[in-house]
Every structure is written in structure tokens, then in C-alpha cells.
A and B are shown apart, each in its own frame.
Chain A
Amino acid sequence: MSSSSTPDHLDEDAARLALEEVEEAEAVLAQRPQKAEAALGEGAGSGRSSGWVTAALAAPGLLWIGFYLIAPLVIIVLVSFWTFTDSGFERTWTLENYSELFNDSTYWDNMISTFVTSLIAVVACLVLGFPVAYFLALKVESLRIQIALFIIALAPFWTSFLTRAIAWTFPLMGREGALNQVLIKLGIIAEPIPEFGFSTLSVRLAMIQLYILFMITPLFFSLAQVDRHAIEAARDLGGNWWRTFREVILPQTMPGIVIGSIFIFVLTMGDYGTVATVGGGNITSVGTLIYSKIGAVQYPQGAASAVLLVIVLMVGVWVITRFSNLREEL
């Protein structure tokens, strides 16, 4: 690879490369993988024009994000402090939207129930998804089969959440749904369970089904990088299944667990479509509540509700990231 150097420098060159490799290996051994940004940023680009080229490459995407993401988020915060009028809002600063919201028990009830739903979803996705990712990453030996199975498991992620929510709601759940029919046929229940249709239970079940892939994917990638020899070593040293899992596999999988949990938490807290479809209008969440406020042209109130939701989200994400140092791991 170092063919570009002259034979005289070959030795030095090779030695230098070897030393670099040693350093890198030490970094790996010290469990400090390079950050993604650092790894990407290395090499190429020096000289005076380079900064401009970098800026020109990054500008279109970042400007687009600035206009369609950052500006809207800023506007939400601004509008939440503006005054409600019949036609929307006017630029008079007020705290009334928030004081109204803090006294609105419906909002807080919904916040709590949405939070509980999220929590259940995170835990359930982790518990149900871990064996799937573990099987794919560590138990399937053939690479080709592994990829094929992973893609089969991942494919529904690409299809519409809404279609899947509808498929979940009407044919499967509900009083007359397939699930009730099967349970009755099997003699497990005598009467159809009404809670299967348009209920908190069905919303929660649907969310697990719809979002679990967001947990499995990061889990799979971190499990695939677990050093198999470390597992073998742990076993050779007499560690039983549980200790191997707890002391070897789990610490190395933590980043995946954290990323997956953040995904599920954020997606379920901010969900609107699933609750509206699976809940059939009977079930409310923070999302549907904000949506109905917007529908009633109560923009400032809606914006204030959204800001509080974002604060809850940020606190939640912060708490989740305490479990692992993501910046190091990425």
C-alpha cells in the first residue's frame, strides 16, 4: 500500500505505519473508538480554498434544514409566547398560554398517560427486541442468511406506518377481529374482549408492533460488533450464561440500547397517526391534543403544548443518555 514512497524510505515508512497501527490498536483496546465525526474528518483537504469547498458542500443541506427545521422550531417557541386571536395569533408577548396550560388537567393527564405508554413501549421493545437482535447478530453464523433475515425483519419499516396501523386495527384487533376470534376458537376466552378495539391497550400493543424495529436495528449493529472471542473467553474462564451476558455482552451493547430507547421514546411521545388510527378517536395523547388545538386555530396554545412536550422529550433523552457515553461511542 505504501508503494508511493521510494525504497530508501520504505523501512521508516513501514515502521511509522506500524506505530500508527499500534496506537490505533491501543485506542481500540482502551475501549475508545474514534468518534464518527473525527474518523470522517481525517485526511484530505488543505490549502486556502479548502474551507470554501467544505462550506459549499455542506451549505445546501444545512440551509435546507435551517429553513424547514430550525426556523419552524424557533417559530413554535415564539408563537407559544404570543397572543391568541380569532384568526390565529398576533405578536403581543404573553405568558397566558403557559399559565392556562399549567392549570389544564386534561393536558397533564394526557402527558402522563402518553409518558406511561412511551415507557411501556421502550421496555417492551427492549425486552422483546433483544432476543431477536441477539439471535441475528450472534447465533446466525452464515453471513448471507444473517443479512437475508435482517432484511426480512427490517422490510416492514419501509412501509407505511399508517397502513400498518390500519391493518392492525381493523382485521386483527377489535371486537370481531381475528385475535378475538382465534382466542374464542381456542377456548381461551368465552366472550370477545372489547379492550382489543379502540382502547389504550390496543394503542400500546400497536406501538410496540410498529416501532420495535427502531430498537432492533441499533441493537443488531452493536451486538454484531461484540467481540465473540471475549464471549468465548468469559465462558472458558467459567462464567455462566448470566454473568457472561451481564459483564461482557451488556456493557458492549449499551450504546445500541441507548440509541434504540431514544428512538422509541421520542417516536412514541410525539406520535399522532397511530393514536388517531388505532385509538379511533377514543384515545387521546399529547399529539392528538395538540392536533385538535391546531384544528381549532388555537395556534399559541398548541405551540405552548408542543414546547412543553419538547422539554419533556429533552429531559427524557437526557436521562436515557446517562446510561452510556454516546459521544464517545459514536
Chain B
Amino acid sequence: MIETMAQAAEAVARPQDVVVRREVKQRRDWAKLGLGVYFFIFLFFLYIPMILMAILSFQGDTGQLTFPFRGPVSLDWWKTLWDSNLFNTIADDVSASGRQSLWLSLAAGALVAVFGFMLSMAFRRRWRLRTDVVAFYVLMLALMTPAFLVGLGNQLLWRFMGETPSLWYTALGANVIWGIPFSFLVMLAVWNRYDRHIEEAARDLGANSVTTFREVTLPLVWTGVFGSFLFGFTLTWNDFDRTILLQNGYEAQPLPILIGTWPSSRPILPNLYALGAGTTAVTLFLIFTVLVAVTLRLRFRSAPVTRPAEELGEADSLAGPGSLRRPAE
């Protein structure tokens, strides 16, 4: 019996789990070097417009929209975003829009996190009549439908119902639509790493399902829930295509709408750059804060990570019947 087991175990070890040590000839990997150079050129291409925009937002008061940089270096254009006494000020619009955007995005983030989490919980359970496949495709539809069509459809629907679309009742709903599938995919990756046996152990030790959920499940997956929140928040914080069709003009515009309608509604000055750089900075700051928090948290976990896909939650589940599968260490 033992022999059969050993054979079976040997047969199942995935080929990539076997560590083969052999002498490697040290050769310069030219492909790697070339691709590395290309990668940094690519990053440059990706970031250059935003960097240029940020630089130009620090011009002096004779500043223009293009280079050369008209000095002296100053915060004049940034100040017009919050000081309402300055010439060319947009302080009132910015504070109203900023507040509107902030609350909308927070609400969207919370809704996305809750819906995505509950849906992913549902997908861990049995569904009747393969309804789960239908639900899965509905989620993919939510991911794939062009933003513009969601905006258009909602506008028509509200008109059909005889209501005026509004940011809080219509635009928020449409924004959450795009967040849900992202949240679902994030949670799917999280559940893939999750070991069900921990829940079983908690139950065996006498915890009821509420306690198990609160004290075992939730603490283990909260990073995913928080990631979902972040998705919902940033998608809404930056959305233009949906919201532009779903605002009624009586409410304070969210920031992206303010920025997007700017070129056609008022003179374009470097304070547009300041506003754009500012909103971008808020988003980047949020992401990096969260990433640092998550990284710190991961340090405390002992799960050994051997392949990048696992770290990013894309690998096939580690939580299988398990122990046989782990490579010997």
C-alpha cells in the first residue's frame, strides 16, 4: 500500500515542482537586455504625457499650454484651484466637484465591495440548473459592455420611466456596474488562494457559521474586499463616458466631467493641468498606500510563494487536498 502511495505521489508531482540543479553556463542574455531597454522606453511612452502636464502646471503666471516652460517655477496655477480670490480662479467649482466626486466614489466603492464579495461567496456554493454559468456570463457582459452604451441605456430607461437621471440614483448605479465584475475577479483570485480546511477546522472546534465567518473567513480575505473597494472607488473617481450622459446639469459635476467639458466651455489654461495632475496624484497616492499596506500584511503570512502568478492570485488553487502536492523543502 505504502509503495502504491509513493508511486502515486511521484506521478502527481507536477513537472514544474521538481527542482533540478545543474551547472548553468553564465552567458549574457541579450534578449533580456534588449527587452529591458524596450520596457523602459515603454514606461517612458506611458508616463511622458502626464509628466509633461505636471511640469507645465508649475509655470509662472504667463504660462501657456505648451513648452517652452515659462517661469518662474510657482504654484500660481495650483493656487487657482483652491483660492477663490485669484484671477482665473476655479476654486468654487473644484471644491464642489471634488466633494461630489469623493462621496460618489466612496459610495460606489462600498457598493462594489459588498456586491462583489457576496457574489463571489455565492459562486463558492452550489447553484441549481447551471444558473451559475448564466450569472457568470452576465458578469462578463457587465465587464464588456462599452461605457458609452451603459450611459445611453440608462438615460433612455430613466426618460422612459419619466424621471430625470441624477448622479446619485443613475450615474452611481451605472458606475457600480463596471466595478462589480472587477471586484468579482479579484475575489475569485483571493478564494483561489484560500484554504477551506481552515473553515472546517473552525467548525470542528465548535464555532457556528457566523463566528467562523467573522473570525476566520473575513480576516483572511479582507485584502480582496478592500481591493474591490479600491476598484469601485477609482473607476468612479475617473469615469467620464457613463457619467456625462447621466448628469442632469443641476448638480455639482464630478471632477472628470469638470475636466472633460473644460476645453469646450472655458479657456484652457495651465490650471487645467494642475487639476488633472492633482486628480491623478490622488489616485496614485491611494493605490500606492494600499499596495504598501497589502505588502506589509503579506509579510506576516507564511505561505511560501514560488511563482509570480501565485503572488498575484492567478495560480490554480494552492488549497487542494494539498500536502502531497507541495514540493519538498
- B residues in contact with A22, CB < 8 Å: 8, 11-12
Among A20-56, those with CB < 8 Å from B are 20-22, 24-25, 28, 33-34, 36-37, 39-41, 43-46, 50-51, 53-55
Contact A160 B238 (CB under 8 A): yes
Set B29, B53, B152: member contacting A294, Cβ < 8 A: B152
Q: Confirm or deny: A79 has a beta carbon within 8 angstroms of a beta carbon on chain B.
A: yes
Binds A, one of B73-81, B91-99, B189-197: B189-197
The CA-CA distance from A4 to B52 in the complex, in Å, is: 62
> Max chain A CB contacts within 10 Å: which of B56, B146, B307?
B146
Binds B, one of A94-102, A104-112, A165-173, A246-254: A165-173
- Decide if A88 touches B146 in the complex (CB within 8 Å): no
- Cα–Cα distance between A271 and B151 once the two chains are bound (Å): 12
Q: B171: nearest residue on chain A (CB-CB)?
A: A68
Q: Is the CB of B149 within 8 A of A76?
A: yes
Q: Specify which chain A residues have a CB less than 8 angstroms from the CB of B325 in the assembled complex.
A: 21
Contact residues of A between 275 and 324, Cβ < 8 Å to B: 276-277, 280-281, 287, 290-291, 294, 299, 302-303, 306, 309-310, 313, 317
- CB-nearest residue of chain A to B185: A36
Closest-CB distance, A212 to chain B (whole angstroms): 8
Contacts known (A58-B135, A166-B259); A172 close to B52, Cβ less than 8 A: yes
Task: Give the contact stretch, choosing among B82-90, B218-226, B272-280.
Answer: B272-280
Query: Considering the complex, which residues of chain B in the window 245-259 have a beta carbon less than 8 Å from any beta carbon of chain A?
Result: 245, 256, 259
What's the nearest-Cβ distance from chain A to residue B59, in Å? 11
Residue ranges of B at the interface with A (Cβ–Cβ < 8 Å): 1, 4-5, 8-9, 11-12, 14-16, 29, 31-32, 35-36, 38-39, 42-43, 45-50, 52-53, 56, 65-67, 111, 114-116, 118-128, 132-133, 135-136, 138-139, 141-142, 144-150, 152-157, 159-160, 173-174, 176-177, 180, 188, 191-192, 196-197, 200, 204, 234, 237-238, 240-241, 244-245, 256, 259-260, 263-264, 268, 272-273, 276-277, 279-280, 283-284, 287-288, 291, 305, 307-309, 311-312, 314-317, 320-325
Contact between B145 and A21, CB atoms less than 8 A apart: no
Q: A262-B144, A310-B149 are in contact. Are A21 and B321 (CB under 8 A)?
A: yes
Q: A15-B5, A299-B156 are in contact. List 12 more A-B contacts (CB 8 A).
A: A4-B200, A19-B8, A21-B12, A21-B325, A37-B133, A41-B132, A135-B35, A160-B280, A209-B45, A266-B144, A270-B147, A306-B149
Q: Are B8 and A1 in contact (CB under 8 A)?
A: no
Instruction: Check A134/B35 contact, CB under 8 A, given A224-B309, A290-B148.
Output: yes
Contacts A72-B157, A225-B309; A302 near B146 (Cβ below 8 A): no
Main secondary structure of the interface of B (DSSP, over half): helix
Rounded to whole angstroms, the CA-CA distance of A310 and B150 in the bound complex is 12
Complex: how many Å from CA A167 to CA B272? 10
* A28-B14, A224-B309 known; A166-B53 Cβ under 8 A: yes
Complex: A39 Cα to B324 Cα, angstroms = 19
Indicate if A194 sits at the interface (CB-CB under 8 A): no
Q: Is the interface of A mostly helix, strand, loop or mixed?
A: helix
Asked whether A103 is an interface residue with its Cβ less than 8 Å from the other chain, the reply is no
Listed by A's residue number, 5 A-B pairs whose Cβ atoms lie within 8 Å are A18-B5, A75-B156, A160-B238, A163-B238, A299-B159
A-B pairs, 8 with minimum CB distance: A270-B146, A72-B153, A18-B8, A57-B122, A61-B115, A160-B238, A58-B122, A167-B49
* Contact A221/B145 with A159-B284, A181-B67 known, Cβ cut-off 8 Å: no
Q: Which residues of B contact A267 (CB under 8 A)?
A: 146
A24 to B188, CA, bound (A): 20
In the assembled complex, the Cα of A149 lies from the Cα of B312 at a distance in Å of: 13
Chain B residues near A46: list those with CB within 8 A: 126
A177 at the interface (CB under 8 A from B): yes
Specify the chain A residue showing the minimal Cβ separation from B120.
Answer: A40
Could you tell me if A25 and B160 are in contact, using CB atoms closer than 8 angstroms?
no
**Are the C-beta atoms of B146 and A20 separated by less than 8 Å?**
no
Asked if A43 contacts B124 (CB within 8 A), the reply is yes
Which of B9, B39, B45, B192 is within 8 Å of A18, CB to CB? B9
For residue A16, which residue of chain B has the nearest CB?
Answer: B321
A65 at the B interface (CB under 8 A): yes
Bound Cα distance from A303 to B257, whole angstroms = 23
Q: Smallest CB–CB gap between A195 and chain B, Å?
A: 17
Contacts of A25 in B (CB 8 A): 11-12, 14
Chain B residues within 8 Å of A317, by CB: 144
Listed residue (A17, A143, A152, A176) with the most chain B CB atoms within 10 angstroms of its CB: A17
Q: How far is the CA of A128 from the CA of B43 in the complex (A)?
A: 12
The reply to whether B311 and A147 form a contact with Cβ atoms under 8 Å apart is yes
What is the CB-to-nearest-CB distance from B44 to chain A, in angstroms, rounded to a whole number? 11
- The answer on a CB contact under 8 Å between A21 and B8 is yes
Contact B65 A171 (CB under 8 A): yes
In the complex, A201 has a CB within 8 A of chain B: no
- Could you say which residues of chain A place their CB within 8 Å of the CB of B177? 64-65, 68-69
CB distance from B138 to the nearest CB of A (A): 6
Q: Are A68 and B176 in contact (CB under 8 A)?
A: yes
> What separation, in Å, do the CA atoms of A92 and B138 have in the docked complex?
30
**B235: nearest chain-A partner, CB-CB:** A158
